[in-house]
Structure 1
Amino acid sequence: MRKLLTALFTFGVIFISAGQSLNQYKYILIPETYEFTGEVDQYRLNSMTKFLFEKEGFNTLMKTEDKPADLKQNPCLGITTKLENNSGIFVTKLVLKLEDCYGNVVFTSKEGRSREKDFEVAFQEALREAFESIKKLDYLYDSSASISANIPQPKQVEIEEEPEAEEEVEEDIQEIIEEESEIILEEDTESYESEEGVNRYRYAGKIYSLNETEEGYGLYQENASEPIAILIETEGGKSFIYNSLTNQGIAYFDSQDNLIVEYFSRQENKKVLVKYELVD
């Protein structure tokens, strides 16, 4: 019991110090491709990173997007996401890192792990576990603490495991975090829904709605509380990164405002084009 309290106290101190450090950054910059992946948004890691940060109240930008005026003037308002792949033969391992405008690592998450055999499932599970470190930060941007490009480089803050914490202590903490994350997920999925300006589409005899979000759109089947896919804006809104539970590709609107989705089907081993027709 004493070790459990010691571990909880230590983790709490670490999370608080890291949270205070990140509060001075206004933007999270996310690359469209990580160093260990060979394709844009491979395994949906990049879009999932954006989604998870948005859920925790961070203002995110894909690195290819046009930067806001304040970020252009002061690049140190933003920090860049990095994913470190430490995977072995049997276990997928990811560590989430954040780098400041000087290239210094200012945040390192705990290592997320997965023993799933499917690469996409494994990488996503490991990312979600690594992201538990972010959830505990209680991030809130503090403009009075913002970093300017001409001040000394900030000190690195890392999330490290408590050496004296035993395996059962970590499991207890993980169970608590998982319970909290389920509650957060149920609450935050509602943020994708919008009562106004919702376009309706028909595909395969079913009705879908396209709800605008800060990063693009959420595609919902009628009466569903969670999106079946998310569309992340690129190229100034001319096209979108399309991500569903089973497929990833691109999406865009045709001249009649129908939603067109293109992706490569591994099961059919061919390119698939889906047309969601706008309902008048």
Structure 2
Amino acid sequence: MKLKFLALLFFSIYFVSVKAQESEIRKLNAYENVIVPVQFDSAKQENEYLLSSLTRHLLKQHGFNVFMDNETLPIAAQQDPCLNLRASVLTQGGMFAFTTEVTLVFYDCRNQIVYKAQGSSREKKFDKAHQEALRDAFDKFAGYRYTYKPLQLDKQHKTRLQEKQSIKKQFANQYNWEGKQYQLQKIEVGYLLLDAEGNRKAVITENSDKLYFFNSADINGSLKIDTNQDLIVEYFNMQTGKQKKIILTAISQ
């Protein structure tokens, strides 16, 4: 009788754990694309141990829309970076370690972690060990198939959003940033930040919660507008590991 009780308890704990894992993975369904870096932050060279190409391959096996970060994204993904997830593979283990460990992480456009999974390997050869550990992390996806399902808002939430001030009334037309002058160009999902020659330097977008985001070649962060219409951009610097802030000063007309 005691053995039956223990077996039932073990099965219940396992079932709850599996369901919780499935719920976490399905958060990925809210994003349209996954972007995989050619060189991960912890890597010393491009596609080290073939982890970038293997990540792309394994994601595609589960039905994701996958792009390497040196590929051209669809227009919608360029205009609204918050449609995309960024995949990262963090590695641990070295010459004298008995186990190689990797962590597969998915970040949203605000550098917030949406989902992560860990894997490990006792293989001695570096390349095989890292690949085996990554496959072990992807074992958490067993039985999961990606299906794009954008988040839906209830009527009450939508009504509150409609009552908020329009983005058009909050932005100035021109800004000064690091001694150079820039102007805003309206697009469907927000604004383009253009330099004096008309070159695109950044995209300012707005999500369903009226939160603003600033995305350029080097900066991906959140954006706030102060009472002077200055733009305050806060972002996480991957190289220094610190939170940074820049300010674009509104130019009075």
TM-score normalised according to structure 1 size: 0.50
Equivalent residue for 2:34?
28
CA RMSD of aligned residues (A): 2.3
Match for 2:207 among 144, 150, 166? 150
How far apart in 1 are the matches of 2:206 and 2:145?
A: 25
How far apart in 2 are the matches of 1:104 and 1:134?
A: 20
- Number of residue pairs matched by the alignment: 152
* 1:201-220 per-position Cα deviation (integer Å, ceiling 9, x unaligned): xxxxxxxxxxxxxxxxxxxx
Task: Say whether residues 1:121 and 2:128 are aligned partners.
Answer: yes
Bigger Cα Rg: 2
Instruction: Name the amino acid aligned to 1:91.
Output: T
Within a 5 Å distance, the mapping from 1:81-120 to structure 2 comes to 81-87=87-93, 89-109=97-117, 111-120=118-127
Aligned pair in 2 of structure 1 residues 145, 133: CA closer, same or farther (>3 Å)?
farther
Within a 5 Å distance, the mapping from 1:201-280 to structure 2 comes to none
Equivalent residue for 2:144?
137
How far apart in 2 are the matches of 1:145 and 1:18?
A: 17
Task: Say whether residues 1:50 and 2:65 are aligned partners.
Answer: no
Aligned pair in 2 of structure 1 residues 24, 73: CA closer, same or farther (>3 Å)?
same
Decide whether the 8 Å contact of 1:75 with 1:149 is kept in 2.
no
Instruction: Name the amino acid aligned to 2:149.
Output: D
Aligned pair in 2 of structure 1 residues 153, 128: CA closer, same or farther (>3 Å)?
farther
Equivalent residue for 1:231?
none
Aligned pair in 2 of structure 1 residues 83, 133: CA closer, same or farther (>3 Å)?
same
Match for 1:2 among 8, 18, 22? 8
Aligned pair in 2 of structure 1 residues 153, 23: CA closer, same or farther (>3 Å)?
farther
Instruction: Name the amino acid aligned to 1:139.
Output: Y
Aligned pair in 2 of structure 1 residues 153, 47: CA closer, same or farther (>3 Å)?
farther
How far apart in 1 are the matches of 2:83 and 2:11?
A: 36
Percent of matched pairs sharing the same residue: 30
* 1:205-238 per-position Cα deviation (integer Å, ceiling 9, x unaligned): xxxxxxxxxxxxxxxxxxxxxxxxxxxxxxxxxx
Instruction: Name the amino acid aligned to 1:97.
Output: V
* 1:114-153 per-position Cα deviation (integer Å, ceiling 9, x unaligned): 111100000000000001123343321114649x842459
Aligned pair in 2 of structure 1 residues 152, 129: CA closer, same or farther (>3 Å)?
farther
Gaps of 5+ in 1: 155-280
